[in-house]
Each structure stands twice: as structure tokens, then as C-alpha cells.
Amino acid sequence: MNTTQRILPYVRQYVIVAIYEVLEQDRIRYEKTESSTIVSEISVYGNKSVFSISVSEQADGTQLLVTMVRPHKYLSADGIQRAVTAVADRISQYLENETVLANASLRRSKLQESVCKA
């Protein structure tokens, strides 16, 4: 299967921003085909393939759908699935890291406020 799906506990817009951030960090060019779909050629483990990345709001979070639409010619079926999973993992990890950093920053701010009041 050349698709993976995740339900992420973030609002749709935040997931879309995370996709753009991940692609731009790696200087990957992309095309926005619909309001919630991005198509891009991404190198995973040294193999360039074309992926479609889309998001949609669900009752329990935002659905991230990553599909390999044009695999690198030498990828096996297992390699395709690993690459699709790796792209979804990059986006999920970006969101997790940003959440952890935001929470740490908030805790530092509250700590500084309590020290200043004392």
C-alpha cells in the first residue's frame, strides 16, 4: 500500500503549516493543488518520489494522509511503505517538537513571573 493515514491531535491549519515548514526546512519545492492538498517530489533515503500530502478535519483531530503518487523506479513495495511512513513521521515529529518547545517556553515564562513576584 502506498498510503498512510494518521489522526493528529491538532487543528487543521496547524498541520498545514507544519507540512510547509517541513518541506521548506529541506528546501523541497511543492505545489498546492487544493486548499488542503500539497504535491511534492521528496527524497527519502536517497530516493526521490512524488507524494501527495493532504489534511482534513475529523471529529477527533486532523487526518493526515500521505500518498506516494509516483515512486522512485527502484523502490520495492516495502520501500514504498517505509518512504510514505517516513514522510508522515517527519510531519508528526515536527508537530510534537513544536508542542514540546511551546510548553517548555510557557513553563519558563510562568517560572520567571513567579520569581519576579517573590
Task: Look at the pTM and tell me if it is higher than 0.85.
Answer: no
What pLDDT score does 34 carry?
Answer: 82
Per the CB < 8 A criterion, the answer to whether 61 and 7 are in contact is: yes
Residue 35 confidence (pLDDT): 81
Closest CA to 18 of 113, 87, 116: 87
Helices (H) and strands (E) counted in the chain, each on its own, are 2, 5
**CA distances in angstroms from 71 to 22, 41, 51, 102, listed in the order given:** 20, 10, 8, 36
Give the pLDDT confidence score for residue 23 in this predicted structure.
96
What residues have CB less than 8 Å from 98, skipping those under 6 apart? 18
Which residues, given as ranges, of the chain have pLDDT below 70? Answer: 1, 100-118
Give pLDDT, residue 79. 95
Contacts of 15 (CB under 8 A, 6+ apart): 8, 55, 62, 64, 91, 95
For residue 103, the model assigns a pLDDT of 62
Residues 99 and 8 sit within 8 Å (Cβ to Cβ): no
